Amino acid sequence: MHVSTTVFASRIQRFRLPRVCVAVVGEDASNIIDRAESRVRDNPFMEFRLDYLSQPAAALPKLKHFLDLHPEATVIATCRRAVNGGKFKGSAAAQLEILTKAAAMGFQLVDIELQSAEILKPAELAQLKDRVGVILSFHDFKATKKLEETFAEMKQYPADFYKVVSTATSLYDNVQMMKFLQAHSAQHEMVGLCMGEQGIISRALGVRAGSVFTFAAATRGEETAPGQVTASELRDTYRIEMVDAATQVYGVVGDPVAHSMSPVMMNAAFRRETVNAVFIALHAKTMKDLMACIPDIPIRGLSVTMPYKHDIVEALANSDALTRQIGSCNTVVRSQDGKLYGFNTDVAGVVVPLEQRLTLQGAKILVVGAGGVARSAVFGLKNKGAEVYVTNRTAEKGQALARQAKAKYLKRADVAKMSFDVIINATPLGMGANRQSPLEEKELNTKFLFDLVYVPAETRLTKMARAKNITVIPGLEMFVQQGARQFEIWTGKPAPIAEMSFVVTKALERLEPLPAEEEAPPPKPRAAEKPAPNAPTKVAAKATGKKAASPPAVQPAKKAAKKASKKLVKR
């Protein structure tokens, strides 16, 4: 049956299409149908990758059965040729034949590459477009470049949607894609995104810039393109269905940042307080890349994490007293005129959970560690009138911090001789696959133990403390409190703390369990705490973003632990 363009167009008007199209792959037609059946309720917009099948044409009658049963579904037939990044080994003519059959079977849309369109006769393409909605696509698997030139070529061919997919090698590539979409989406039905881990933000923000829809994986492990996120992540975390031009953009910037819990927590807070905003993870490999993107995305606020908390200070037009005192900024506000203002909410993250339990004035507190977070803890607690002690693996760094904050440095060998109101672990020991404790049992002479490590929720240190009836304050409380303060700075509204805590707790529970590893004994205090430290462990290096010295040989168990450490959660 011949379907006229006019009749067809009404079926695919942009406002009728959901924002997320889920790619479905399978070894055979039954496999695709099984997967589609289980997804169609939540994902009525799907793409069937016919090129993943050994006999795409033979599979079509079976797939038709699914389409007949599900008139509510809109399904794209894609049979991408291997030369253009797909799996179909046939010619452009064979591809056209399959897509034409797919149209006859009831697929509402077909995807055909620019390169195939260039090979086919104009009349052949016109015939296809008469039968079905055509997505003319172009994929660059290496870079984001020459978008305008590519689109100029694409426009020569009639299509219902023009889909341009590139690969982001920097954060700025996402900006290029968004500018490109903004420039053309008023005249054409555009679909655009950047692949790759650095392109994830284009999947959430592309629709804000004019992409009619974007692509997602049905579940983790079923990605059909690098950097593809799941449909539920796009909908539930990034709330893609409500993102529009007025949506304010916030994000967490760092390197690495892919497994940050901040998007889950902040998007939940925005949703709960009905703020039209989206919070994304921005993977910037350099400060220069980050600074180039801030004006163009445009970002309203940033949560800053490793390794930029110190470097961002120089880019600020002004900052709060804590940022100036500590030299570390974890929260940025971008004003209407583009200026950046910095705040430190890490201090609130440490101080608030403690103030909820004890009076800090005069409290005797030991901070273990002298890195970025320890710095915020030591200065923040000194400002509250606490008697603060610092101990650190590298004595020189600990002494310098104690000197600057007017705290006291304590040699590790003396820790066991003292008792405290609070001991704070501000080292990465215990984090992820690392099963070490920064202190030994005999050194835990304290009423409260605040372990800033929050993945996993229970560490060797917290277990030891509980066994000694010490009250444990989980690191999650710091994460939630620093985020709550950020939310308040950005929105002027009280943060929905219970909701924020709940979603992060649930997200942590969903993380893959870390492989069991024999619990290593806690590192002994160094006989003489010399300035030259051992190289950080692999896990510590991951946590701190610093490079660790390679061990002479990696044992299988260590390999597993290393893999698991990639799942570590850093803010």
**Residue numbers annotated as active site:** 309
Confirm or reject binding of residue 227 to ligand NAP (CB under 6 A). no
Using Cβ positions, the residue closest to ligand NAP within the complex turns out to be 371
Confirm or reject binding of residue 544 to ligand NAP (CB under 6 A). yes
Q: What whole-number distance in Å separates Cα of residue 86 and Cα of residue 78?
A: 9
Candidates 33-41, 180-188, 196-204, 529-537; binding stretch for ligand NAP (CB under 6 A): 529-537
CB of 153 to ligand NAP, least distance (A): 48
Confirm or reject binding of residue 569 to ligand NAP (CB under 6 A). no
Residues ≥6 apart with Cβ < 8 Å to 9: 133, 160
Nearer to ligand NAP, 44 or 371 (CB): 371
Nearer to ligand NAP, 101 or 397 (CB): 397
Confirm or reject binding of residue 211 to ligand NAP (CB under 6 A). no
CB of 350 to ligand NAP, least distance (A): 9
CB of 523 to ligand NAP, least distance (A): 5
Residues ≥6 apart with Cβ < 8 Å to 512: 564, 567
Nearer to ligand NAP, 120 or 539 (CB): 539
Confirm or reject binding of residue 129 to ligand NAP (CB under 6 A). no
**Residue from the set 365, 370, 410, 415 that interacts with ligand NAP by CB under 6 A:** 370
Q: What whole-number distance in Å separates Cα of residue 280 and Cα of residue 278?
A: 7
DSSP letter, residue 258:
T
Alpha carbon of 274 to those of 118, 128, 261: distances in Å? 47, 44, 20
Confirm or reject binding of residue 540 to ligand NAP (CB under 6 A). yes
Nearer to ligand NAP, 306 or 449 (CB): 306
Number of residues that bind ligand NAP (CB under 6 A): 33
Confirm or reject binding of residue 453 to ligand NAP (CB under 6 A). yes
Nearest to 79 by CA among 106, 34, 109, 38: 109
Question: Which residue spans within 34-171 are E strands per DSSP?
Answer: 45-49, 74-78, 109-113, 133-139, 161-167
**Largest alpha-carbon pair distance within the chain?**
89
Confirm or reject binding of residue 523 to ligand NAP (CB under 6 A). yes
Count of residues making up the chain: 571
Nearest to 378 by CA among 354, 356, 357: 354
Q: Residue-wise over 48-85: b if at least 16 C-beta within 10 A, else e?
A: bbbbbbeebeebbeebbebbeebeebbbbbbbbbeebb
Question: With the C-alpha atoms ordered 500, 505, 510, 514, is the resulting torsion angle positive or negative?
Answer: positive
Question: Which residue spans within 142-202 are E strands per DSSP?
Answer: 161-167, 190-195
Task: Map the footprint of ligand NAP across residues 86-125, applying CB under 6 A.
Answer: none
Order the strands of the 190-195 sheet from edge to edge. Answer: 190-195, 161-167, 133-139, 109-113, 74-78, 45-49, 20-24, 214-217
Candidates 75-83, 185-193, 222-230, 534-542; binding stretch for ligand NAP (CB under 6 A): 534-542
Residue window 429-448: x/- pattern of binding to ligand NAP, with contact defined by CB under 6 A: x-x------x----------
Confirm or reject binding of residue 478 to ligand NAP (CB under 6 A). yes
Task: Map the footprint of ligand NAP across residues 372-431, applying CB under 6 A.
Answer: 372-374, 392-394, 397, 426-429, 431
Nearer to ligand NAP, 56 or 483 (CB): 483
Instruction: Please report, as ranges, the residues that interact with ligand NAP according to CB under 6 A.
Output: 306, 349, 369-374, 392-394, 397, 426-429, 431, 438, 452-454, 475, 478-479, 482, 523, 533, 536-537, 540, 543-544, 571
